[in-house]
Amino acid sequence: MKVVFLCSSLEPGRDGVGDYTRRLAAELVRQGHFSAVVSLNDKYISDVFNDIQQSEGTKLAVLRLPSVWPMKARIGYAKKIY
């Protein structure tokens, strides 16, 4: 199964939904599925972040798109990646 979660922000400790989404996605990875998280309106960054991060010891694909970008550009970038 392939699951990509969308949320507004993924700044650790700053957004409860983002923190929970990251943990949920990591659990799916631990169970053998592909899972990634995308923040579509991240106000804590000024440039795109597309990398692998650790969540509770599990590697997780993370895409963070800055809120300063136009929404059309953020959606288009996310579509190209996933």
Region of 40 please: left (phi>0), alpha (psi -120 to 50) or beta.
alpha
pTM over 0.95: no
Edge-to-edge strands, sheet with 2-7 = 2-7, 34-42, 58-66, 49-55
Domain boundaries, the chain: 2-81
* Residue 81 scores a pLDDT above 90: no
Inter-residue contact 22 to 58 (CB < 8 Å): no
pLDDT recorded at residue 82: 82
* Residue 15 scores a pLDDT above 90: no
pLDDT recorded at residue 6: 96
State the DSSP code for 49: E
Give the tens place of pLDDT for each residue, 27-74: 999 999 999 999 999 999 999 999 999 988 999 999 999 999 999 999
Q: Which two tokens stand for residue 43?
A: 């106000």
Q: Which two tokens stand for residue 52?
A: 């692998």
